[in-house]
Amino acid sequence: MAARPLIDGFGRRITYVRLSVTDRCDFRCAYCMPLDPDFLPKREVLTLEELETIARAFIARGVTRIRLTGGEPLVRRGVVDLARAIGRHLGHGLEELTLTTNGSQLARLAADLAAAGIRRVNVSLDSLDAERFRRITRRGRLEPVLEGIAAARAAGVAVKINMVALRGLNDDEFLPMVDWCGREGFDLTFIETMPLGHIEEDRTDRYLPLTEVRRRIEARYTLVPTAERTGGPARYVRVAETGQRLGFITPLTHNFCESCNRVRVTATGTLYMCLGQEDRVELRDLLRSGGPVALDAALDRAMALKPKGHDFVIERRGAPPAVSRTMSATGG
């Protein structure tokens, strides 16, 4: 254990950081961001060196898992260099370096990311139908994503698929996705759409509780609950027929915060203590003026700010989002 672990006011130990490397993205998923988002000016974004310094500061305080995310992390130039730099800490405090991606650039980068030490990636895939994939992402093409997934597998990287359940958009694809992931050997996690940031539509219209998703899967498969937890919001089951692992992330229908072990750093160096709350510490200017010592002290201050949990509400039409920033801005 690190000499001075990061422990918050509720006794939760922080061992997991999601590090956003950019707020930009080549897709415009309708539930995530508006079609014409205000992306940050590049000068406000942390340099690759600063991102690595922040990662190092967390590792020194006992963080064992880092996930690169965004926006779309793989559209940031130099992201492989960053993965390589952080990957050098594997086996020296850092136990795992992972990535969440839309997969559009994976075919090109998978082998280099694997060589940098990434052994697992989460790929967001909300539909296996090319037309529909286009409609949901409003820009993306399915084929390169499938090629990227294949490239990751060929590079020895385990793939987990994340699928957001969207009423009227992909709600007839839960079973086909379970089947496909079963055949391909991928774990699959379903996610409820969360009220984060302003988008064009009212999320209430697309919200589908995962109890409904589960009910539909159980019509065909036997789901066996497991005790597996990652300190995160997902609850896992095994499909008895295939042995495949399914996860359910249900921030709306269940509160999962009591075991929360994570914090998020945005691409501008804002450390958010909760995805759904405003509590934060600005690391960038501290780092630029005070270096690693100031950074380390800021982590202690941040621990006192971590809230007990989020207060997501989505059932009420017209309700404002829980926070004004989108998931892509915080780092999903």
Whichever of 124 and 266 has its CB closer to ligand SAM, that residue is 124
Q: Restricting to residues 107-166, which ones interact with ligand SF4 according to CB under 6 A? A: 124
CA 76 to centroid of chain Cα atoms:
16
Which of residues 15, 20, 53, 102 is near ligand SF4 by CB under 6 A? Answer: 102
273 binds, among ligand SAM, ligand SF4, none (CB under 5 to 8 A by kind): none
Name the one range near ligand SF4 by CB under 6 A: 29-37, 76-84, 147-155, 296-304.
Answer: 29-37
Q: Tell which one of 14, 21, 32, 260 touches ligand SF4 (CB under 6 A).
A: 32
Tell which one of 71, 247, 269, 331 touches ligand SF4 (CB under 6 A). 71
Residue 270 interacts with, from ligand SAM, ligand SF4, none (CB under 5-8 Å by kind): none
Residue 330 interacting with ligand SF4 (CB under 6 A): no
As measured in angstroms, the least distance from the Cβ of 257 to ligand SF4 is 22
User: Which of the listed partners (ligand SF4, ligand SAM, none) does 12 bind, with a CB threshold of 5 to 8 Å by partner kind?
Assistant: none
82: nearest Cα among 54, 108, 104: 54
Pairing state of beta strands 280-282 and 270-272?
Answer: antiparallel
- Binding residues for ligand SAM, per CB under 6 A? 25, 31-32, 69-70, 72, 100-102, 124, 162, 164, 191, 193-194, 196, 327-328, 332
3-state secondary structure (DSSP) of residue 66: strand
Helices vs strands, H then E, count in the chain: 9, 12
Binding span for ligand SF4 by CB under 6 A among 24-32, 53-61, 197-205, 281-289: 24-32
- Helices 48-60 & 284-303, crossing angle to 10 degrees? 20
With CB under 5 to 8 Å by kind, the binding choice for 272 among ligand SF4, ligand SAM, none is none
Closest CA to 138 of 109, 177, 169, 97: 169
151 — phi, psi (to 5°)? Answer: -65, -40
Beta carbon of residue 100, minimum distance to ligand SF4 (angstroms, whole number): 8
SS3 of 18, please? strand
**34 or 78, CB closer to ligand SAM?**
34
What is the smallest separation between the CB atom of 142 and ligand SF4, expressed in angstroms?
13
**120 DSSP β-pair partners:** 98, 158
Distance CA 2, CA 60 (A): 7
Q: Report yes or no: 263 and 273 within 8 Å, Cβ to Cβ.
A: yes
Q: Choose the contact partner of 28 out of ligand SAM, ligand SF4, none; CB within 5 to 8 A by kind.
A: ligand SF4
In whole angstroms, the minimum distance from the beta carbon of 211 to ligand SF4 comes to: 23
Does residue 29 belong to the site contacting ligand SF4 (CB under 6 A)? yes
98/101 with CB nearer ligand SAM: 101
Give dist(CA 151, CA 209) in Å, integer. 33
User: What does DSSP say about strands 158-165 and 120-124: parallel, antiparallel, or unpaired?
Assistant: parallel
Q: Which residue type occupies 156?
A: G
Encoded tokens for 101:
């991606």
The helix/strand/coil state of 161 is strand
Closer Cβ to ligand SAM, 102 or 127, answer by number: 102
Task: Please identify which residue in the block is written with the tokens 């390589």.
Answer: 84
CA-CA distance, 69 to 74, in Å (whole number)? 8
With CB under 5 to 8 Å by kind, the binding choice for 196 among ligand SAM, ligand SF4, none is: ligand SAM
Residues that bind ligand SF4 (CB under 6 A): 25, 27-29, 32-33, 70-72, 102, 124, 328
